Amino acid sequence: MADVESPAAPHSTPVPGASSMAGSQAPPGVPLLAVSGLQSWYGESHILHGVDFEVRRGEVVTLLGRNGVGKTTTLKSVMGMVGKRRGSVRFEGGETIELSSDRIARLGIAICPEERGIFASLTVLENLLLPPIVREGGFSLERIYALFPNLQERQASQGTKLSGGEQQMLAIGRILRTGATLLLLDEPTEGLAPVIVQQIGGTIRKLKEEGLTILLVEQNLRFAQTVADRHYVMENGRVIDMIPNAELDANMEKVHEYLGV
CATH number for the domain that contains residue 77: 3.40.50.300
**Residue 230 placed within a domain:** yes
Asked whether residue 217 carries a pLDDT value surpassing 90, the answer given is yes
pLDDT tens-digit profile of 35-83? 999 999 999 999 999 999 999 999 999 999 999 999 999 999 999 999 9
What's residue 27's pLDDT? 67
Q: Single out the residue of 172, 194, 193 nearest to residue 183, CA to CA.
A: 172
**Domains in the chain, number:** 1
Quick check: is 98 in a domain?
yes
38 and 89 Cβ atoms separated by less than 8 Å: yes
Residues in the chain: 261
- Answer whether residue 5 is part of any domain: no
Structural domain contains residue 39: yes
Residue 94: domain span: 29-259
Say if 17 falls within a structural domain. no
Q: How confident is the model at residue 132 (pLDDT cuts 50, 70, 90)?
A: confident
Which of 144, 80, 142 has its CA nearest to residue 107? Answer: 80
Q: Is the residue at 16 inside a domain?
A: no
CB neighbour list of residue 39: distance below 8 Å, 6 or more residues apart: 46, 48, 49, 50, 51, 85, 86, 87
Q: Kindly report the pTM of this predicted structure.
A: 0.87
> Is 204 within the bounds of a domain?
yes
